[in-house]
Structure formats: structure tokens, C-alpha cells
Amino acid sequence: MGQLEGRVAFITGAARGQGRNHAIRLAREGADIIAVDVCAAVSSDNGYIPATAEDLAETRNLIEAEGRKALVAEADVRDSSALQAVVDRGVEQFGRLDIVIANAGICNWSRFWEMPDEQWSTLLDINLTGVWKTLKATVPAMIAAGNGGSIITVSSVAGLKALPAQAHYSAAKHGVVGLTKSAAIELGEFKIRVNSIHPYGVDTPMGNDANALAVFRNYPRYLASFGSILTDSPLAAPDDVSDAVLWLASDASRTVTGSQLALDMGATKV
């Protein structure tokens, strides 16, 4: 029997990358999965191709290959009504909600005074307000189920230390920390734990954004902000992050809430 047998998880940004990997790993431990992704381009400033409906369908296939049930739907985390509709369908189908992974996010680059208003607002709307809307849509079902549960918000190294050419990303990811801590306090009485994780670079399409290389070529002094202690690999594997997500989702972390778990190869310490 897996660590999450009989539980149900809601995961955003699940069409590929970290979100898909979290879905597969949780399913392998016995959880049924409600998975959403926008499956569309959301910002012309991103230097990587967007996920597709076919990617999300493959996530469903991979969950079901683990012997678990999956409900997948296209939904934008900026759209509260779309999120709520998927949550309602999932709870009706599976009968409960125990785990939420607010994973959806984008990343792009610019110096803050050269950044168009739309680039700033789009990233904040997805990476911060989208996390709030995800929690707002899911928490009532978790409270109603009365089983406690675990919420994991995906922040970043940029949520623990500021990074140049990413003022908008740093602001959003720092904001996720504040939201996480407040939510942990408010949900403690319901035995719902809320924690944030803080990966550095991960081997996903977003983590391999070629636009980052252009920034470092144009502004080489910024490289000093992107060092790490563990240097064997410049990018973590998705499983490295999913290991931590699984621990926070399970009862093994039952004493942990309001915490910030750095999965950063020591990048926040240099």
C-alpha cells in the first residue's frame, strides 16, 4: 500500500514538467489525481514553447498507467470560475480532496525598468494571484471533507533571495511565501498544513529557457547571483523536486507547516 492510498490530489500546471512528474509520483503512492493546465501560450515573453492539450492527455495516460484514476481539464489559474468547476467535478467524482499542489507558473526575463507593464502583470497574475485562486478554489472542499490535508505551493530560489533580470518573478515568488505562511496560520485549526518548496533550475522546458543565456551574455555581472554550492549538475531532475513534494503530501511531514523547503543545491546560501 502506498503512502497516499485513498487520497485525492489537485495539481495545477500538470501537462508536463514538474507538474506531470508530481502527478505520476503521487499516483504511484496511491492517490487519484485532478490535473489542470492552461495548455496554451500565455505570454509572448516566455522563451519556451507552451504545453498542449496532447501533453495533458499524456499526463492522464501516465497516471492511469500507475493504476489510479485521473480527471484532467484545461483551466487557467487566473480564472476562478474555471478552477472551481474542475474542483467541484473532482470532488463529485472522487468524494474528497486531500492534497493541493499549486505548481502552475511561468518564467521570463527583463530588467525591471525596461519591462513592459503587461510582462509584469501577466507573470504576477499567474505566479502569485493564480496560487491564491488555486487555494481559494480548493480549501473549502478540504475543510468540508474534514480529513486535514496538505497544500504545497511552488515558489523558487527567487522566493528566498532576489534575482536580477527577474524582479517580477522574485516579487511573485516572495509573495507566494507570504501567502503560504498566512494560509498555514488560518488553516491550522482544520489540520490542513501549508508549505512552500523552493527549487532552483529544474530540467524542464521552462528550466531550459534559452532566453536566460542571452541575459547572461548581455549582463555577465548578473551571473554572480546565480551560483550554487552543489555544482555536479546545473539542473535538478524533476524527481528531485517530486521527492520533497511527496514527503510534504504524506503523513511523514505531519509536524511541518508554514515552512519553506529549499531544494536549491545551496543557491540561497551564496
Catalytic residue among 169, 200, 219, 222: 169
Quick one: pLDDT at residue 1? 82
Quick one: pLDDT at residue 229? 96
Whether pLDDT at 234 is above 90:
no
Rounded CA-CA distance 253/195 in Å is 10
Residue 151: count of CB within 10 angstroms of its CB: 27
Count of alpha carbons within 13 angstroms of residue 235, beta-carbon side? 14
For the chain, the DSSP string reads: --TTTT-EEEEES-SSHHHHHHHHHHHHTT-EEEEEE--S---TT-SSPPP-HHHHHHHHHHHHHTT--EEEEE--TT-HHHHHHHHHHHHHHHS---EEEE-------B-GGG--HHHHHHHHIIIIIHHHHHHHHHHHHHHHHTS-EEEEEE--GGGTS--TTBHHHHHHHHHHHHHHHHHHHHHGGGTEEEEEEEE--BSSTGGG-THHHHHHHH-GGGGGGG--S--S-SSB-HHHHHHHHHHHHSGGGTT--S-EEEESTTGGG-
Confidence of residue 51 (pLDDT cuts 50, 70, 90): very high
pLDDT digit string (tens) for 214-227? 999 999 999 999 99
Residue 215: count of CB within 10 angstroms of its CB: 20
pLDDT digit string (tens) for 137-196? 999 999 999 999 999 999 999 999 999 999 999 999 999 999 999 999 999 999 999 999
Quick one: pLDDT at residue 21? 98
**For the residues 239-245, what does the mean pLDDT come to?**
98
pLDDT digit string (tens) for 88-128? 999 999 999 999 999 999 999 999 999 999 999 999 999 99
Report residue 211: phi and psi, to 5°: -65, -25
Cell 478552477 maps to which residue?
A: 83
From the list 130, 27, 28, the residue with the least C-alpha distance to 70 is: 27
Residue 169 among the catalytic residues: yes
pLDDT digit string (tens) for 55-75? 999 999 999 999 999 999 999
